Amino acid sequence: MSTASVNILTLNLKINGRDYCVSCSPDASLSSVLRDNIGLSGTKEGCGSGECGCCTVLLDSKSVKSCITPAFRAEGAEVITIEGLSSPVHPLHPVQEAFVEAGAIQCGFCTPGFVLSAYSLLKEIPNPDEQDIKNGLSGNICRCTGYETIFKAVQLAAEKLNSSEREARE
Amino acid sequence: MNYFKPESLDEYFNCIEKSEGFVRPLAGGADIMHRLKKKFLKKDGLTLIDINVLSDLKELEERDGELRIGALTKLSRLQEFLAGKAGYNLLHTALGSSACSQIRHQGTVGGHLAGCLPGSHLFPVLLLHEARIEIVSPGGMREVDLDTLQKQPYHNNLKKNELISALILPALPAKKSYYWGEGERKGFCFAPFVLGWSFSEEAGLRIAGGNLPRGAVRFRVLEEKLAGSFVPLIDCLKEEFHFQEKQGNPLSEYQKTLLYRFMKVIKDKGEIK
């Protein structure tokens, strides 16, 4: 860019494999751009200040809290939201399947954030123990489930991902 | 609100010169976005300077037995880099309990230091390391001890045209070291107290704590009194509390109790007399 001051930014973003061009103010958060400019409302905004993790998305495969991520930080990076995790062939990603099977969803508001945090954790640690899971999900808050079923869902997701990887290798 | 995105340090300093009002360099952005949303920062008259493309600030290397950690190094990258590295395990542990994975993926070392966060898990451990920071300005570069950076929580001693370029981190030559954060830190909820302790023949006894009224400190009175003396622990602590109070940095009753408990555990292990 340049050293000229600007009040409105034009950003070229790559979200779930698609290119978007959006205009926003410099202090616009990534979550507001995803929801209001692009219409991807799967990303939830809970506290809006980085506490609850409902707004978690992946920025270059790493989980971040999109409500406190400036939208311009996503320029040049690959953003994945909950909508980008599934595909036409697999309507639910194995992590999402595990959440359904383990009954880790009640009201569902925090679920997109938990699913993406779990996805990011399993990318970094394919076989997490209970402490790894607790640490990996410590940035997400659920007020319904009591977390136990969520931890079970992540263990189940790890098994699913590892077995599908084994099958792919064989 | 104004926004600049300089591509070099020279351009950065040009932007600073042009800007009036409150100017904030922005790296990961988590802290500034949080403060804007909570209205701790006013948008009117605010200038944000996006420094993410300044590649000079991204290097992470070992130099003369020390680590030079570029200010734009992500906390999660530093955590990966320090895994299993001798002399840095205490810092690795502190990073693991600092905030949450999302914030560590986003937050940078420079932003964390410049923010002078009161409940930082890293500051006390960095003080044990006797870390230094490298500061760039149009006049050149200088190095200062990390503890001179803190003015008070959320405020640093940097001048308007100064920028942290790197953290210089000597290894902690500790045979034994402990780290303890009271309470779990999640998101932006701070631990009420963070304590670090290390001992080695060459470096002696080092004790540091965080989240005091003026930020993190080394408890130097306690270190001195405990090193090789037979003064009862409780008297050493009283002198340290008195010293900190005189410095305008009083510990709360809760923090005093926690420091006593921490030191008592170390004493019961036979690490101090």
Tell me the pLDDT tens digit for each residue of B37-72.
888 888 888 899 999 989 889 999 998 889 999 999
| Half-sphere exposure (Cβ direction) of A151: Cα atoms closer than 13 Å | 12
- ipTM, two decimals, is 0.90
Enumerate the residues of chain B whose CB falls inside 8 A of the CB of residue A139: 99-103, 186-187
**Residue B60 · residue B81 · CB < 8 Å:** yes
Helices (H), A33-142: 94-101, 111-124, 130-136
pLDDT tens-place string over residues B84-113: 898 998 999 889 888 889 999 999 999 999
Of A114 and B265, the one with more pLDDT? A114
Specify the amino acid at residue A53: G
**Residue A30 · residue A74 · CB < 8 Å:** yes
Q: How far is CA B222 from the centre of its chain?
A: 21
Q: Tokens for A5?
A: 């001051």
Hey, are the CB atoms on A63 and B105 less than 8 Å from each other? yes
Provide the chain B residues 238-257 that lie in CB contact (below 8 A) with chain A.
none
Provide the chain B residues 25-84 that lie in CB contact (below 8 A) with chain A.
26, 28-30, 32-34, 36-38, 43, 47-48, 50, 52, 76
Place of tokens 């493309």: B53
List the one residue out of A105, B195, B85 whose CA is nearest residue A118: A105
What is the number of other CB atoms lying within 10 angstroms of the CB of residue B92? 18
Beta strands across the sheet bearing B215-218: B176-181, B194-200, B204-212, B215-218
Q: pLDDT band for position B268 (50/70/90)? A: confident
Burial of A73 (0-12, 13-18, 19+ CB in 10 A): buried
**Residue A75 · residue A12 · CB < 8 Å:** yes
Q: Which backbone phi and psi does B225 adopt, to 5 degrees? A: -65, -35
E strand or H helix at B67: strand B66-70
pLDDT at A64 over 90: yes
Q: Which of A35-44, A57-66, B12-21 has the lowest mean pLDDT?
A: B12-21
List the one residue out of A80, A4, A93 whose CA is nearest residue A43: A80
Region B172-187 average pLDDT: 71
**Residue B53 · residue A72 · CB < 8 Å:** no
Q: Say whether B95 sits in a helix, a strand or coil.
A: helix
pLDDT tens-place string over residues A118-160: 999 999 999 999 999 999 999 999 999 889 999 999 999 999 9
